[in-house]
Structure 1
Amino acid sequence: MDIDSTLKRSTKPSQRKKLIFGTLLISIALIIWLIYSWLAPTTLAANQLQIATVTQADFVIKIRGFGRLKSKYQRYLTNTDSAMVEAIHVYPGTRVNKDTVILTLVNPLQAQRLSVARLELARQKASANEQIINQKSQLLERQASLTILKSELESAQLRAQAESKLIEQGIVSSLDYKRSLLTVKQLEQRVDIEKQRLVQLADMHHQRSKIQQELLSQFELNYQVQQQAFDDLQVTAGIDGMLQELNVELGQNLTPGTRLAIVGSDTALKAELSVQQSDAEKIALNMPARVNTFSTGNSGEVIATVTRIDPIVSDGRVMIELDLTGSLPANARPDLSIEGYVISHVIPNALTVNLPTKVQADTDATLFKLNPTTHLAHPTQIEFGTLSDNKIQLLSGAKVGEQLIISDLSKWQHLATIKIEQESL
């Protein structure tokens, strides 16, 4: 009997069984590990997430924009005639008052026109004075003639009265008495005619005086225009404020209507904000607003009111004009860059949370709601409402005090649970 062959045949089945049993154990262990890994929640570190708490309060809806402060009152300085810039007295950035001379212009023809206008006005005044003297002389002559006629009439009336008594005594003939009465009647008519002539003469003088006065007014107006044009060669600010622009150079020849400079008020200011066109539709006149000038001494916020909404849309934005009703900070000046917002309305007792990543207003989204006790987070469908700044309104899906993960967890939304690992102390 071959003992070695028998032993070899008996050991082979035993080794095969051991190998199969070991493989089975390893497979079972692997399956158990996979099942445990699948059932165990995914763990994320809390310090890598943004977690926000749902709050309830009056939700102020703000429409933000950016822009600049502008002068509430501006004056564009132009020239009315050809001229040359002779001197520049003030440069941009200088505070001025209404009488400050900014430019001196020169125009020799204007000085000549002013002299001619002054001479014509003086000649017309002399002519008017001469006419007044002549009229007074004519009136005096006419009044003297009337006085003589009245005297002759009184004498004739006295004669007729005396003859009326003597005719009865036969001292005066009837013919002489009738002649005296005729003389009285003729003198009375002459007096009436002379009075009418005096009235007509006075009326004629009045009409001539009106014509003369109108002519004189025209000459005076022409002189004033020429004088004003000459005075305008000294270009003054016209209002209190700051010289904002100077558009000419020394020695420059100017045509009529050239824009010389711009002066704007530096204490009376307004704000111009540029907002999105979609937001501008929610803004109305007289809405309250705030403007931030970024003053270092204080918050720099100024109370304001919407006074104008520009109807023109430029690059998808609309300009909103604000009247600054609050006290201006020390750094407020024209053309200062600012930010601001308009308070369109307030939602009372609204549920709000910090704006989650990739969430927009008036949409639904799935966020993970965190249980602070178990440190487990479950996906929850949330309905969002109005957005303002970095806050958004919650319409449904969460309550006051609940915590929501506002980080982007879109790649984990297929999971039923996420474990949030807190930092160890």
Structure 2
Amino acid sequence: MDLDSTLKRKPQQSKAKKWLAVAAIGVSALGALMVYQWTTPTVVAASQLQIATVEQADFVVKIRGFGRLKPKYQRYLTNTDTAMVEAIHVYPGTIVKKDTVILSLVNPQQAQRLSVARLELARQKASVNEQRINQQSELLERQANLAILKSELQSAELRVDAESKLIEQGIVSSLDYKRSMLNVAQLTERVSIEQQRLAQLKEMHLQRSKIQQELLSQFELNYQVEQQAFDQLQITAGIDGMLQELNVELGQNLVPGTRLAVVGSNKALKAELSVKQADAEKVALNMAAKVNTFSQAGHGEVDAKVTRIDPIVTDGRVIIELDLQGTLPANARPDLSIEGYVVSNIIPDALTINVPQKAQAHSEATLFKLNPNTQLATPTNIEFGTLSDNQIQLLSGATVGEQLIISDLSKWQHLATIKIEQDSL
């Protein structure tokens, strides 16, 4: 055995053992520190925390959105012919009646067409009157001829009657008597023919009058069309409400169909809410809703009902149309900015708390449950359900009346407990 080598190794082994001993002591100290931290609660001031109490009640699930009030009825004003804006009488924001004149337009050609139509109608009326007078004259003349023939027939009949008594006495010859009878027969035939001619004349007058009346109706219709076109140069509101838009300027030349203005009802209103697409899928027709107009006088909320769900998605949002019910707030007007919500569901006897920080619907999280007697809080696994506004449903992990810390304590979730220190007065 090499004695020198053996003597040299002994100090080295002794040094290694010393290092192992030091490491063991360090591990033991670290373990002791961890045990101390685990068993000794961390103290947190109550003023730095948000503490919520678990409540039980009917949980109203609300789909919130923002939007504007819109007129339930609108009228787009356009022109039917070329024209120029001669005058502007009212501007947007003005309350108007249905007969309020908003714009005055001018069209010289239309004025000329109206004058021509008026003149043609007057001529046709004169022609009808002239025809009526001529027909009356012809009718009177025919009736006069008939009256004369009837008078001659009566005279001839009297003569025959007288001669029939005298012929037996030989005062009147048989030839004269026969001539008188022939005259009666001829006059009877002439009266019959004249009556037929009179009837035909009346029928002919009737047909001519119908034709003239149809022509007169055409001229009257043409005049009414031109008069209506001329009247439409005065642009009226058409409905009671408020002038929302004015799309023309003074002196502007217009082509037919130009959009001039928009008038909307200011009393009959509806609400349009913009909600997230994911939330819109939970909304159905006839669901109850509420709209808030933020009236300074209070009473800014009004009941509503879902009447339409827009199928178009814009920027991840969907328009929900609501029918307002009951008395509208004093500040309600078209295009007023509003907020509102739709009641999509009501969960009876649900456990709820204020939404903890970073909590999400239908998820699980660890919250500290507070013992109000010991002021100690221990981590507890909580299962969440539906979320609405600042409330979230609890499915498991807590009961009614228990207190949960809803502040973000994720950095302390490894601790067995924390102590809540109440602020001194």
State the TM-score bracket (shorter-chain normalisation).
0.7 to 0.9
Correspondence 1:13-412 to 2 at 5 A: 31-165=31-165, 180-374=180-374, 375-384=376-385, 386-412=386-412
- Quick check: 2:293–2:331 contact (8 Å CA) kept in 1? yes
Cα separation, partners in 2 of 1:142 and 1:316, compared to 1, 3 Å: farther
Which whole-Å CA distance do the structure 2 matches of 1:28 and 1:237 have between them?
91
1:258-305 C-alpha deviation (Å, 9 max, x unpaired): 112222233332222112233333333333322111122214212223
- Quick check: 1:369–1:380 contact (8 Å CA) kept in 2? no
Which whole-Å CA distance do the structure 1 matches of 2:342 and 2:162 have between them?
105
- Quick check: 2:360–2:384 contact (8 Å CA) kept in 1? no
Consecutive unaligned residues in structure 1, runs of 5 or more: 1-15
- Quick check: 1:370–1:378 contact (8 Å CA) kept in 2? no
Find the residue that maps to 1:115 and give its secondary structure: helix
Displacement of 1:202 after TM fit? 2.0
Identity value in percent? 74
Larger displacement relative to structure 2 (313-322 or 26-35): 26-35
Displacement of 1:183 after TM fit? 4.4
Alignment length (residue pairs): 405
RMSD, matched Cα: 3.1
- Quick check: 1:92–1:246 contact (8 Å CA) kept in 2? yes
Find the residue that maps to 2:135 and give its secondary structure: helix
Which whole-Å CA distance do the structure 2 matches of 1:324 and 1:314 have between them?
24
1:5 aligned partner = none
Displacement of 1:318 after TM fit? 2.0
Displacement of 1:234 after TM fit? 2.6
1:423 aligned partner = 422
What letter corresponds to residue 205 of structure 1 in structure 2? H
Cα separation, partners in 2 of 1:378 and 1:142, compared to 1, 3 Å: same
- Quick check: 1:367–1:382 contact (8 Å CA) kept in 2? no
Displacement of 1:33 after TM fit? 3.8
Displacement of 1:392 after TM fit? 2.1
Displacement of 1:42 after TM fit? 4.8
Displacement of 1:129 after TM fit? 0.8
Displacement of 1:182 after TM fit? 4.8
Displacement of 1:96 after TM fit? 2.8
- Quick check: 1:241–1:266 contact (8 Å CA) kept in 2? yes
Cα separation, partners in 2 of 1:27 and 1:395, compared to 1, 3 Å: closer
Displacement of 1:169 after TM fit? 5.8
Larger displacement relative to structure 2 (24-33 or 80-89): 24-33
Which whole-Å CA distance do the structure 2 matches of 1:82 and 1:392 have between them?
62
1:323-371 C-alpha deviation (Å, 9 max, x unpaired): 3223333332221111111223433322222223333333444433333
Cα separation, partners in 2 of 1:180 and 1:41, compared to 1, 3 Å: farther
Cα separation, partners in 2 of 1:366 and 1:151, compared to 1, 3 Å: farther
Consecutive unaligned residues in structure 2, runs of 5 or more: 1-14
1:12 aligned partner = none
Which whole-Å CA distance do the structure 1 matches of 2:179 and 2:371 have between them?
141
Q: TM-score, normalised by structure 1?
A: 0.84
Find the residue that maps to 2:65 and give its secondary structure: strand
Which whole-Å CA distance do the structure 1 matches of 2:100 and 2:253 have between them?
22
Which whole-Å CA distance do the structure 2 matches of 1:173 and 1:396 have between them?
142
Cα separation, partners in 2 of 1:87 and 1:54, compared to 1, 3 Å: same
Which whole-Å CA distance do the structure 2 matches of 1:349 and 1:132 have between them?
89
1:368-395 C-alpha deviation (Å, 9 max, x unpaired): 33332232223124241x3221112233
Cα separation, partners in 2 of 1:301 and 1:28, compared to 1, 3 Å: closer
What letter corresponds to residue 422 of structure 2 in structure 1? E
- Quick check: 1:382–1:398 contact (8 Å CA) kept in 2? no
Displacement of 1:121 after TM fit? 1.0
Find the residue that maps to 1:311 and give its secondary structure: coil
